[in-house]
Every structure is written in structure tokens, then in C-alpha cells.
């Protein structure tokens, strides 16, 4: 029943916005959209992440700004979803599967999880972020996670969120990590990595961990 209500709400929202003609599933038939697929729309004034259920879309989040971001794609290594990963044995398989499912380098997922929770599946931050990838409750709900402390679900959701942010920020690793820590709205508002000490340290730490895993 809950899923039905979500689909009905999403369909109503799509119908209400149909006259805007910004983006719809029928506009991109070659994309072969399937249930749960995330697509990014960027019209120069806003960036919106949509989740599709057939031809019904649901907006995950939208960023609007008058300034455009300068992005610097890190490189194709971000898309090596088959790369080996160093992680606790009982989690390595989940990370590998999550990375392949969402097209994210598993070494990046591992670097984020290490920084976020030190592999503690029951970690809870002072701001309420939970689990291995430290998902905020609202983000977890958007990503369809029922039990945020279940390692597999948490890792899959975190990898999916990383994929969404990588697409949103054109593969820019620093902006992606900053958005994961401080939120995509903060990145857009400041036109780059926000001037928060925590976020700047976070970006440097995760990037360094990831690059060590790449052998840089």
C-alpha cells in the first residue's frame, strides 16, 4: 500500500508539471529506463535528480542557483566498478555488488565507509546519521532503506547516493565528497567545496584514502 501511495504521488507530481516540459521519460526513449533508475536533469539553472518507476518519475532532490559550477572530472577510474576492494571480509562482497549495481568504484565506497563509520554498522553521529555510510534518515528514506543499520542495504544506498552525486557534479570527486558531507545544496550555494573545516578535512581525508587504494 505504501509503495502504491508513493507511485500515485509521483504520478500526480508528474502530471502537475507536465506543462513545463523540462524532462520526462518519453523524452529519452533510448535510455532504456527501468525501475529505480536515477537520471540527472541539468538545464543551467537547476540540477534535479529523478528516480523512475517505468514512465513515472519522482524527484529526489533539486538544486537551483544563478551561478554555474566549475567541475573537474577525476577520470575514468571512478567508473571501474570491477576493481578489487580492501574491506572487512563480511562486507567486501556487499561493496563489490553495490559498486557494480550503481557504477561506482568500490574503492571509493570503501574510502567513504572507512571515514564515515570506521566499519561500525551501528554507528550513529551527533547529527543522527546512521550506519556504515552514515546516511541521514531523510536520505535513507529517499533511497528506499527500511533498516539503515542493515549493512547490505546501507552500502547499496550509499553507493547509489555517490552515483547520483557524481552524475550531478560531472564526476568531480571533491565536489561529490563535499556534497556527501555537507549536502549538495551547500556545494551549489558556495560554488565549490564549502568553507567548513569539517567538510574540507573530510574531502582531503577521503580523497587521500581513495588515492592510496588506487596506488597513486
What is the rounded end-to-end Cα distance, in angstroms, of the chain?
Answer: 50
Q: Which of 69, 75, 59, 64 is nearest to 17 (CA)?
A: 59
145 in Cβ contact with 135 (< 8 Å)? yes
Catalytic annotation, pick one of 116, 150, 198, 211: 116
150 catalytic per annotation = no
Distance set, CA 62 to CA 8, 31, 50, 79, 168 (Å): 20, 21, 9, 24, 10
Burial environment of residue 90 by CB neighbours within 10 A (0 to 12, 13 to 18, 19 or more): exposed
Q: Which of 167, 174, 166, 212 is nearest to 192 (CA)?
A: 174
- CA–CA separation, 110 vs 13, rounded Å? 36
Q: Kindly report the CA angle at 91 between 52 and 94, in degrees rounded to 5? A: 30
Burial environment of residue 104 by CB neighbours within 10 A (0 to 12, 13 to 18, 19 or more): buried
Tell me which residues are annotated as active site. 116
Amino acid at each position: 500500500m505504501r509503495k502504491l501511495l508513493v507511485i500515485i504521488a509521483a504520478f500526480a507530481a508528474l502530471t502537475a508539471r507536465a506543462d513545463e516540459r523540462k524532462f520526462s521519460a518519453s523524452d529519452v526513449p533510448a535510455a532504456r529506463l527501468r525501475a529505480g533508475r536515477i537520471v540527472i536533469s541539468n538545464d543551467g539553472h537547476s540540477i534535479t535528480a529523478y528516480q523512475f518507476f517505468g514512465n513515472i518519475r519522482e524527484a529526489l532532490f533539486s538544486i537551483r542557483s544563478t551561478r554555474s559550477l566549475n567541475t573537474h572530472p577525476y577520470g575514468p577510474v571512478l567508473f571501474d566498478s570491477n576493481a578489487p576492494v580492501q574491506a572487512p571480509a563480511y562486507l567486501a562482497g556487499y561493496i563489490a555488488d553495490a559498486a557494480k549495481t550503481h557504477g561506482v568504484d568500490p574503492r571509493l565506497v570503501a574510502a567513504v565507509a572507512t571515514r564515515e563509520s570506521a566499519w561500525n554498522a551501528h554507528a550513529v553521529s551527533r547529527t543522527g546519521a546512521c550506519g556504515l555510510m552514515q546516511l541521514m534518515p531523510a536520505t535513507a528514506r529517499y533511497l528506499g532503506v527500511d533498516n539503515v543499520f542493515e549493512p547490505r542495504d546501507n552500502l547499496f544506498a550509499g553507493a547509489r547516493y555517490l552515483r547520483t552525486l557524481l552524475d550531478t557534479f560531472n564526476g568531480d570527486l571533491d565536489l561529490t565528497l563535499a556534497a556527501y558531507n555537507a549536502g549538495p545544496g551547500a556545494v551549489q550555494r558556495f560554488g565549490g567545496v564549502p568553507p567548513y573545516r569539517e567538510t574540507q578535512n573530510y574531502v582531503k581525508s577521503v580523497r587521500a584514502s581513495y588515492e592510496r587504494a588506487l596506488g597513486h
